Structure formats: C-alpha cells, structure tokens
Structure 1
Amino acid sequence: MYILVEDNLNPIPNMEDIYMDFSEILERRRAINFFDPSQDVPDDLLRTVLAEAAMAPSSFNLQPWKVKILRDPTRKAALRAVAFDQPKITEAPVVLILLGDRDGWKEGTPNFEGHFQHSMKPEQRDYLVNSTKFLYGDTPDASLAFAAKNAGLFAMSFMFAACSHGLDTHPMDGFDREAVRKEFNIPDQYWIPMLIAVGHRIPDLQVHPKAWRQPLDDMILE
C-alpha cells in the first residue's frame, strides 16, 4: 500500500509503478471455480481486506452494505443447498453473503447519523435529509437501486483488495434469494446482490485467458 505523502519515510511512488501494480491485479483477478479447501483465510487477513474494501465510494458516503461471513461447514452446506448446489460454496473456506440496505438512506440509521456527525455541519442536516429522501426514497425502485449499486461498488473493491493480498474470489448471483433470506434470517430491508466465495485456487489450476470483452468503441455511446 502506498502513502501519498512526500517525506523522508514515505516518498511519493512512481505513478507508472502504481499503474502496473493495478494492471496486474486486473489481470490476475478471476472468478475462480475451484478452491483449495485445505488453505484457510485467516480472520485478521479477511478483516484487513474488508476494511480496505470499505474505502469504496458510496452515495453521500452512506455505505449501505453489510456482510454475513460464513465459515462453518454446516452453514455453508445450507447455503449451497439454496445456491444451485455450487461446489465452490463448500470448498472455499469463506463465503460472504453481501447485503445492500434499502433503508440506508434514511435519517436516524447508524450510517446516516455517522456520516452527518463526522462530515457535516448542523445547518446542513435538512439538506442531507431532503436530498437522500428525494434521490433514494421516492420509490421502492429507487431504494433498491441505491442499495444494489452501492453494494456493487463495495463488492468490486473487495475483490480487488482480496486479489492484492493473494486471495481468490468468485462473485455469484446463482441462488434462490428468498430461500437465502429465510435460511439466514436476513431482514427484509436488505437486498442480496451476490455471494462471494473467498479463498485460494487449487494448486496448478489452469486458468483460461480472460473472456471476450466488448470493443471499447462499442462500449462508448455517442
């Protein structure tokens, strides 16, 4: 990790070096299907990756995401049963159930009040209350979009951070959302955008080249 402060202990790094380091992460980060169940993910490492991922941007810095961390084989087996019987759910040492909080924009919620307390002035409260309600609370679709897009930003940051620490991941949306909600007692306010398997790929796994990506000129709409 680089600290962008120019002093004798922490000189500003070469920008090309940073770019190349991130390019390697982009290339190495893959959706791995085959995890080595004998290689654990230590809790302190997982917490480090989660903390780094939490640096992701979010709407009004409200950070409307939560995670359930599954390690217990019995609980992972229960998840696998409602996730199309995907073997990686029980083979990976850790599986995250990612949650997006549809109510995370509301006044009085911990993240709303935390952001206001640490980042805003008292006279800005009405602005924050009215803006978040207008943008994210007008319709159920707006609240769902708020939860899903911000959780997605966190998820991608998590996968990049995990890769930088030598971990492998696989995001999954192949699961019965309501069955997962019931099995793990997830309150209705949370949307479940994805599951993320976390661990180490099996030794000597042959990974195919990156899949096709749409041409840049096709991606850019005039």
Structure 2
Amino acid sequence: MEKTFKQILQNRRAINFFDPERKVPEGLLRELVADAAHTPSSFNLQPWNIIVLRDKDEKMRLQKLAMNQPKVSEAPVTLIMLADTKAWHKDNDSLQLVLNHKLQDGELKEEQRDWFHGVCEKLYGKSRDSELAFAVKNTAFFAMSLMYAATARGLQTHPMDGFDHDGVKKEFNIPENYWVPLLMSVGYHAKNAEVLPIKQRKSYDDIVLSFA
C-alpha cells in the first residue's frame, strides 16, 4: 500500500538496530538516490556527494571513528555524506556538469557562462563561512530527502553527527573541499528490536518567533 506523505513523515525514525543479514540491493539504493536528487538546491548546484560503504571492514574503520556505534557496521549500507564547499567554483567538475545541463536545457546561453560564474562566486565564495553554509545546508536538504525516500520504500535510516570529522576525512582520503555533515546508516529494522515511541515535537506556537 502506497504511503501518504504524512505517513512517511511519521514513520521516518532514527533506528538504532539494523538487520545485518537483510541486504539493500544496489538497484534499490540507486532508486533512493535518484529520488533524493530531486532535492532543491542553491542555483541547482547540487553540492552533495556520498561515499557508499557496504564492506564490513570499511564500515568497521568508520565505526571506530564514530564513537563505536554498532549501527555503523550492522546496517547493510552506511553512507558518508559529502558537502562540496567548492561546488560554486568555475573549475569544479560538479559545477561544470550543472552548467552544461543549464546550457542544454536552454536555461542559460553560452554568453552567460562568465555571468553565472560571477554570481556563484559572489553568493557562495565570499568567505569560508559562506562556502561552508552553502555546502552543508544544501547537503542537509539532500540527506533529509534521502531519509524520506528510504522510508517510502520500507527502509529505515539513522543520521549521525557523532564522529571524528577530521579522522573520517583522513581515513577515507576525502579531499579538502568536502565537509562531512553527517553519516547515515540505511537498512531494515532488526527483528524483535524495540521501536521507541515517537518523541514529542515543538508545536507551531513554539516554532514561530517574532523579534518586532
């Protein structure tokens, strides 16, 4: 039965216990990523990438840098989410791919190429803070879409920010332009493992502020 979006929102949980024997097929993972790729991003620059870990030894290497959380290795797939702080730069391969798409679709004309580079630099390349904000916020949007896509297809996820950022970058030879905003385990809930009650959330009145 197809889930409504409200059901997806409510069913999405940060699961601690995964079934290590139930695999996530490559084709299914590709579908999740393809779904999440529809996430909106600044200027459609899509400054996100992922490293997919399936090998037990690789996941154990990551687990040692992630507060030794068992779910890192128990989940059939654990992702290292990458936020490309240089995805706005004219020499960045990802930007060139996006720019070519814009030219192919007629969104931009060839003579607007330099203008586009200049706008991206002005918006996102002003400082290290602006680069980081640009990359991380957009990659966080993508990660959330990925979690909802997984929930819609009967999978469970757990996003994690408890890890040694610099250690992970060094261990997996991640280039300097990437920031790692989170890790994400993906799989199926372990049989007979407890599912904790849904935690309380802020209400509308708690969320809305005014400083006037």
TM-score range, shorter chain: over 0.9
Shift of 1:212: 1.7
**Other-structure match for 2:156:** 168
How many Å separate the matches in 1 of 2:27 and 2:203?
40
Query: Paired residue for 1:116, among 71, 85, 99?
Result: 99
SS of structure 2 residue aligned to 1:46: helix
How many Å separate the matches in 2 of 1:181 and 1:118?
30
Aligned ranges 1:193-212 → 2 under 5 Å: 193-212=181-200
Pair 1:84 & 2:84 matched: no
How many Å separate the matches in 1 of 2:94 and 2:170?
25
* 2:99 maps to amino acid: F
SS of structure 1 residue aligned to 2:29: helix
Aligned ranges 1:171-190 → 2 under 5 Å: 171-190=159-178
Aligned ranges 1:8-27 → 2 under 5 Å: 21-27=4-10
* 2:78 maps to amino acid: V
Pair 1:221 & 2:209 matched: yes
SS of structure 2 residue aligned to 1:145: helix
Query: Paired residue for 1:154, among 128, 137, 142?
Result: 142
How many Å separate the matches in 2 of 1:66 and 1:118?
18
Shift of 1:121: 1.3
**Other-structure match for 1:11:** none
How many Å separate the matches in 1 of 2:204 and 2:197?
19
The range that moved more, 130-139 or 203-212, is 203-212
Shift of 1:204: 3.4
Pair 1:106 & 2:94 matched: no
SS of structure 2 residue aligned to 1:193: coil
**Other-structure match for 1:41:** 24
How many Å separate the matches in 2 of 1:73 and 1:126?
46
* 5+ long unaligned stretches in structure 2: 103-107
Shift of 1:115: 2.3
SS of structure 2 residue aligned to 1:179: helix
How many Å separate the matches in 2 of 1:115 and 1:92?
32
How many Å separate the matches in 2 of 1:118 and 1:196?
29
Pair 1:127 & 2:115 matched: yes
Query: Paired residue for 1:62, among 20, 45, 55?
Result: 45
1:74-119 deviation line (CA, Å, top 9, x unaligned): 0101100111000001110000000000000011322222222222
* 5+ long unaligned stretches in structure 1: 1-17
How many Å separate the matches in 1 of 2:141 and 2:119?
21
* 2:208 maps to amino acid: I
TM-score, normalised relative to structure 2: 0.92
TM-score, normalised relative to structure 1: 0.88
* 1:175 maps to amino acid: F
How many Å separate the matches in 1 of 2:208 and 2:132?
26
> Which runs of at least 4 in structure 1 moved beyond 6 Å after TM superposition?
none
Percent sequence identity is 49
Shift of 1:213: 1.0
Query: Paired residue for 1:73, among 42, 52, 56?
Result: 56
**Other-structure match for 2:105:** none
How many Å separate the matches in 2 of 1:85 and 1:106?
36
CA RMSD of aligned residues (A): 1.3
Shift of 1:153: 0.7
